[in-house]
Amino acid sequence: MNIEEALNQMPVMGPNDQAQAAQQPAPVMQKQSNVQIGPRYLEALEKVQELAEINSISIELPITGKKVLISPMTGTEEQKLRTGAVDPETFLTQVNKLLYNHIEYADGSGLPSFEDFLNTLYPHDKTMMIWALLAATYSTLPSMEKVCQKCKEPYEVIMHPDELMHPDSVPQIWQEEKSPEDFSLKSTILKGNLTIEVGIPSEKKRLEIASAFSADQMKNNIQESNNILSFSDNLIYFIKRIVFKDTNGDIILQNPINEIYPFMVNLPPKVKDAIRENVSLEHFDKYLANFYHESRCPHCGNIEKVDIVPEIEFFRKALSI
């Protein structure tokens, strides 16, 4: 089947058409504008989109406390996402644009500029948004191989995004005295001379960090730590400020890429260990939605809890990894 025939027969890419799109993503996108689309097709597509809009999901964002509606992705958007997987920064930007295009504030207030949206897009809020985008768009997630802890038999876990939300999944809403921008927690090491301040970072900062590594590194991080950033990069991501007391006056590091990142990466291992022991992000865990799947072993009926990170599922689904 050539590309035109494929497009005529299957103009909208559904979640099950991944293998095909993965084989020839870019040419399909380029050719699409030349394809003649009949009025019946348009009519049907409009109806489908109308119906799909009904599946918008309403969520409350834990950090900003805003109530938002997230509408489902279209087949074309999903396809475009797959072609953008060249580097982490581009891919993240595309995901952010998707969120921006699919978010609506429940109180009817307008969206800020895309730039301002990124400046106030916090990781805990983004997790909720990504889950809602998954749940609105897909009925199933890529299956997962699991070995039952009780009978040791392997089995395939099939998950539906809406099954990942449980009563104890819902995060707390921001309850600090200071706003997320101004809030920070201080930890002091090296006899009180080195102070590390952590706080809630914005997506803008993550893009800066992600710009420093390759797509392969991102895939490695996903496989090893279930996060786009490695464990140490994730800690750097949450560091707002580093203050080192010096006889000539304090040395303050604030720039994530030119100061904090190279400082942290080049620290002697002993100091890195001390930071790992003393600086914790646990305080912010209560604001993070706890998504999980209760998987039932088909061999012995044992039920196990599998923790799920929506953003990683989004990557697995969108990039077929």
**30 C-beta neighbours (distance < 10 Å), count:** 10
CA of 301: how far to CAs of 166, 204, 284, in Å? 20, 45, 35
Q: Does 299 bind Zn ion (CB under 5 A)?
A: yes
CA of 72: how far to CAs of 55, 65, 133, 139, 295, in Å? 7, 22, 6, 11, 26
Which residue stretch of 141-149, 173-181, 238-246, 268-276 sits at the interface with Zn ion (rule: CB under 5 A)?
141-149
Which residue stretch of 146-154, 241-249, 260-268, 303-311 sits at the interface with Zn ion (rule: CB under 5 A)?
146-154
Instruction: Tokens for 20, please give them.
Output: 């095909």
Q: Does 143 bind Zn ion (CB under 5 A)?
A: no
Which residue stretch of 17-25, 138-146, 198-206, 294-302 sits at the interface with Zn ion (rule: CB under 5 A)?
294-302
**Nearest distance from residue 302's CB to Zn ion, in Å?**
5
Provide the mask over 247-286, with x wherever binding to Zn ion is found by CB under 5 A and - wherever it is not. Answer: ----------------------------------------
Residue selected from 85, 128, 136, 297 as contacting Zn ion according to rule CB under 5 A: 297
3-state helix, strand, coil in the chain (%, to 5): 50, 15, 35
CA distance 175 to 140: 34
Size of the site for Zn ion (CB under 5 A): 7
CA distance 258 to 307: 35
Which is closer to Zn ion, CB of 35 or CB of 151? 151
8 A C-beta contact, residue 90 and residue 167? no
Q: Does 302 bind Zn ion (CB under 5 A)?
A: yes
Q: Does 300 bind Zn ion (CB under 5 A)?
A: yes
Which residue stretch of 97-105, 108-116, 151-159, 264-272 sits at the interface with Zn ion (rule: CB under 5 A)?
151-159
Which residue stretch of 19-27, 144-152, 175-183, 271-279 sits at the interface with Zn ion (rule: CB under 5 A)?
144-152
Which is closer to Zn ion, CB of 53 or CB of 294? 294
**Nearest distance from residue 150's CB to Zn ion, in Å?**
5
Q: Does 148 bind Zn ion (CB under 5 A)?
A: yes
Provide the mask over 100-139, with x wherever binding to Zn ion is found by CB under 5 A and - wherever it is not. Answer: ----------------------------------------
Which is closer to Zn ion, CB of 9 or CB of 149? 149
Which secondary structure element, helix H or strand E, spans residue 119, and what is its range?
A: helix 114-119
8 A C-beta contact, residue 265 and residue 280? no
Note the Cα 256 to chain centre separation in Å: 20
Which is closer to Zn ion, CB of 148 or CB of 279? 148
**Of 131, 130, 129, which is closest to residue 162 (Cα–Cα)?**
131
Which is closer to Zn ion, CB of 22 or CB of 300? 300
8 A C-beta contact, residue 91 and residue 85? yes
Instruction: Tokens for 56, please give them.
Output: 């918008």
8 A C-beta contact, residue 257 and residue 209? yes
**54 C-beta neighbours (distance < 10 Å), count:** 9
**Nearest distance from residue 188's CB to Zn ion, in Å?**
48
Which is closer to Zn ion, CB of 252 or CB of 300? 300
Instruction: Tokens for 245, please give them.
Output: 């007391």
Residues that bind Zn ion (CB under 5 A): 148, 150-151, 297, 299-300, 302
